[in-house]
Amino acid sequence: MPEPDPQIVVTLLWVCLGLLVLLLVLAVAILRSLGRIGRRETPVPLTPDLAESALPAVETSPGGAFEAFLEEDPSRRDLTKGEQFKAYRKWRQEKGLNWSNS
């Protein structure tokens, strides 16, 4: 087998090194772009105000259906908001207060 020319081997190694550096620069550029996009988007904060606004004002007003639901069983007030809403939906279904009875 003939001996490879050392000049060709060195040239190929430099070409490979150059391509690796180019890939590294591209990867850094992509990560920076993704970081800028991520910082630009503002997440919606999850506050208790959002949980309370899940029900219409008519149902949360004094004497509304939600108040009647809570007064029926005082232990329901101790539940988390999510559990209250789930039980309230079930209660409305049982009472026939929903538009569809499915």
Inter-axis angle of helices 65-72 and 81-95, nearest 10: 100
Structure tokens at 69: 């639901």
Judge residue 19's burial from the number of C-beta atoms within 10 Å of its C-beta, 0-12 exposed, 13-18 middle, 19 or more buried.
exposed
| Integer Rg of the chain from CA | 32
Q: Kindly report the pTM of this predicted structure.
A: 0.38
- What whole-number distance in Å separates Cα of residue 89 and Cα of residue 83? 10
pLDDT in tens, the chain (102 residues): 788 888 999 999 999 999 999 999 999 999 999 988 888 876 666 555 555 555 555 555 566 788 888 888 889 889 888 898 899 889 888 888 777 655
Task: Collapse the DSSP code of 15 into the 3-class scheme (helix H, G, I; strand E, B; otherwise coil) and give the result.
Answer: helix
